[in-house]
Amino acid sequence: MTIHFLNCFTCNARVPSDLRTGTLCLLIESDRGLVLVDTGLGREDYVHKTAMVRIFQLVTVVPLDPREAAVRQVTGLGYHPGDVRHIVLTHMHFDHCGGLPDFPQARVHVHRRELEAFEGCPRRWTDLAYVRRHVAHRPEFALYEHTGEGWFGLEAIRLPFEPEMWLVPLFGHTRGHCGVAVKGESGWLFHVGDAAPADLDDSLPAWLVRFVLGPHAPRLRAFRAAHPEIRMTTGHMPSCFFSAPPPAPAAGALG
């Protein structure tokens, strides 16, 4: 079983100028075909830029390289786009689900609250990052709600795949935002999406992190300290992450 780490949307800060990040999407080989966790921007977003992309170009440095589209990277890895049978979304902001139309045959797995937020009236400023055209092809959705299960002490929902995968509710950045946990060959990977800053960095003011990303960053840092055997990633990782070799599994890693 292989997990590919894809940078599907480079977005660099203007201040501080050394803060360079990419949107992390996971491509996972499963018993039901390829599973893509988040999509980054789609091909259409590079041709006809959404209002949110234009705003990001004003406030950040966005190379907007169409080679970063997930569908192109899937092809570059030797797969066919049709091999992506399932897409799991942490949330439905434009930079995490813009590539849905590039995989029209894929079933989309997302928390019910997130789809309801996407389809409903905006209630908070982060809802403005939803772009309706990203579901204009009417994908098949698989919706999830909590069933009373847990993963390492966190509320979680088992996804129907092998290797073992869990949807972990981390509401706050959006009304239905979730992390995704995957049991790999060398242990667990916990992708927390936009519930915490890049690589769980704590250099940003706590009030700003809470305002933009929600309330979970402190407890996610505590979770990482309590479980060093679990590798954690965020929705926007430092650019060096994508060129660095993966770290060796921690002692006692599961899997």
Q: Which domains does the chain have, with CATH numbers?
A: 3-12+19-242 (3.60.15.10)
Q: Is the peptide bond before 245 cis (omega within 30 degrees of 0)?
A: no
Q: 123-162, pLDDT tens digit by residue?
A: 989 999 999 999 999 999 999 999 899 999 999 999 999 9
Own/partner long-range contacts of 49-57 (Cβ < 8 Å, ≥24 apart): 50/94, 50/98, 50/131, 50/133, 52/94, 52/95, 52/128, 52/129, 52/131, 53/94, 56/11, 56/95
Contact call for residues 143 and 110 (beta carbons, < 8 A): yes
**Residue 248, pLDDT score:** 45
Give the separation between CA 31 and CA 162, rounded to whole angstroms: 6
Q: 192-219, pLDDT tens digit by residue?
A: 999 999 989 888 899 999 999 999 999 9
Phi, psi of 21 (to 5 degrees): -135, 160
Nearest alpha-carbon partner for 217 in 238, 193, 182: 193
Give the separation between CA 136 and CA 214, rounded to whole angstroms: 28
**Residue 244, pLDDT score:** 58
**0.75 exceeded by pTM:** yes
Q: At what angle do helices 217-226 and 206-213 cross, to 10 degrees?
A: 100
Give the separation between CA 42 and CA 101, rounded to whole angstroms: 7
Which of the residues in the chain have pLDDT under 70?
244-255
